[in-house]
Amino acid sequence: MHCAHFVAGRCQSCQWLAMPYAEQLALKQQQLLQLVSPLAPLEILSPVASQQQACRYKAKMVVQGSCEAPLLGIINQQGQAVDLADCPLYPPAFAAVFAVIKQLISRAQLTPYDIATRRGELKYVLLQQSYHSGHFMLRLVLRSKNCLAALQKHLPWLLASLPALSVVSVNLQPKPAALLEGPEEILLTEQALLREQLNQVPLYLSPQSFFQINPELAARLYATAATWTAELTQQGVPIRHLWDLFCGVGGFGLHLASNEVALTGIEIAPSAIASAKQAAAELGLTQVDFRALDSAAFATAAVSPPDLLVVNPPRRGLGVELVTAIKQLAPAYIIYSSCNANSLAADLTLLDNYQLLRVQLFDLFAHSSHYEVLTLLQQRAKTA
């Protein structure tokens, strides 16, 4: 991938961009092998490569400049505001949408927030596109409600200018700290959810939902988990009930569930649970129980294990409380998806009553040191 901003030294966000992509992938695989080799995995699969550009369907842009000439991008290590509206990591449609957003900033006089003086209103522009439909969700992170009336006034113009724009919201982040967003979200459009669809499975994204940045590889990640589960069933493993902890909007669980396999999905965010329920209803799944709970608390209180446990924790990993609960429950099989191989390896070391059967790297974050890992574990046979 060629990036003029990287070549000029303005943006180094893609730390590995100077490295040929094949070498990037090989280095990630090598790092993963070093972490999991002490766990004696039975099978290490080849890594799944990403497209090298136009692969990120979610943009988080710092707003700088002025109302008349706004910049959407980053503040680099030199303290310079760099406009990345033409970043090649985003699909081509993003550039046209960013151009209209800049016009909106000028029309509505959304003054970019200045960190040094703590003045201004617009802090970030968060833009997400559905891989399936091409529709967009736009979130504007503001310091206060001062510009809400102006935004509502220009909303009809914005929607007319961008027919693919389905959801628009304002997030309020009044603190001067470098926080991306605050807890309060104000919806400006009638439509509240962006519909995604991966592998024929609908997924509904609310403004504050977590979703993978690279949906093409997310689809392959979910499909692989479904394939591994189907292979267990074909081998005679009875899977009648599965749990999906940290389920988000239901990506893994909805790919694995059926009307023969009951699904319990646990996620702390109520909006994500509501989205997962909507998708399950659309799929016609009848044995589904999605709950807005803490995953560790749910597992600790449970009295019987699922046949298959799926976990997809945040970067920090499972945590001691949840690992302890899993070891006590002792489900026969675990599928563990992780965006942090270091915390994954630490958790798997603690789960010493499990054999690591299979490991595969999914390069959701091309040109960086980050990647996703999918693993399959089996409870070890108890010794007398």
Active site residues: 339
| 180 DSSP 8-state letter | S
Beta-carbon contacts of residue 345 (< 8 Å; ≥ 6 apart): 35, 36, 38, 39
Q: Which residue in 351, 373, 375, 355 sits closest to 364, CA to CA?
A: 373
- Residue 174, number of CB atoms within 10 A of its CB: 12
| 365 DSSP 8-state letter | S
Q: How many CA atoms lie within 13 A of 77 on its CB side?
A: 7
Degrees (nearest 5) of the Cα angle 100, 81, 96? 20
Beta-carbon contacts of residue 314 (< 8 Å; ≥ 6 apart): 246, 339
What SS3 state is found at 190?
coil
Amino acid identity of residue 361, one-letter, is: L
Alpha helix ranges (H) inside the chain: 4-7, 21-36, 93-107, 148-161, 215-234, 251-256, 270-283, 295-301, 320-329, 341-350
Q: Which two tokens stand for residue 100?
A: 């209209």
Long-range contacts of 370-374 (CB under 8 A, 24+ apart): 370/339, 371/28, 371/32, 371/47, 371/339, 371/341, 372/212, 372/217, 372/221, 372/337, 372/338, 372/339, 373/32, 373/337, 373/338, 373/339, 373/341, 373/344, 374/221, 374/224, 374/225, 374/335, 374/336, 374/337
Residue 125 and residue 114 in contact, taking contact as beta carbons nearer than 8 Å: no
Residue 123 and residue 90 in contact, taking contact as beta carbons nearer than 8 Å: no
Q: Which two tokens stand for residue 255?
A: 């790919």
Burial of 167 (0-12, 13-18, 19+ CB in 10 A): buried
What SS3 state is found at 218?
helix
